[in-house]
Amino acid sequence: MQNKILIVEDNENNRCLFRDILTFHGYEVAVASDGQEGVTLARKLMPDLILMDIQMPGMDGMTASAILKGDPATSGLKIIALTSFAMQGDREKFLAAGFYGYLSKPIRTRELPGLVKQWLEVEPV
């Protein structure tokens, strides 16, 4: 059975690139262009992993993740923060906010499939 990945990213080029890479590596991929659509799709699809952009117009990734973490039906979803924030302490800030992992942009496309595989294999703490 294929793992389901939800990509929530407002940049169309990034969405397409991540989708194409992960689809090529055998994942079932859905995409959302903003936080509200991401929350809706996450509730509907219950993906194995969500790659959530932090800076998006409308509902940002922090808000969308907080909504999902606050809902008992979706609180166990693994959500990875995708962000161009790469300052010291940002990783810890996102993990403290309930994200399962952190990935800074620009993303190394050759590393993405391996990171996704690692996140999927590790059980949440």
Domain ranges of the chain: 4-121
For domain 4-121, say whether CATH 3.40.50.2300 is its number. yes
The pLDDT score that the predictor gives to residue 36 is 96
Per-residue burial over 111-123, b if 16 or more Cβ lie within 10 Å, else e, is: ebeeebeebeeee
Mind listing the pLDDT tens digit for each residue in 78-90?
999 998 866 666 7
Intra-chain end-to-end CA distance of the chain, in Å: 24
Residues 6+ apart with CB under 8 A from 44: none
pTM: 0.91
Mind listing the pLDDT tens digit for each residue in 24-78?
999 999 999 999 999 999 999 999 999 999 999 899 999 999 999 999 999 999 9
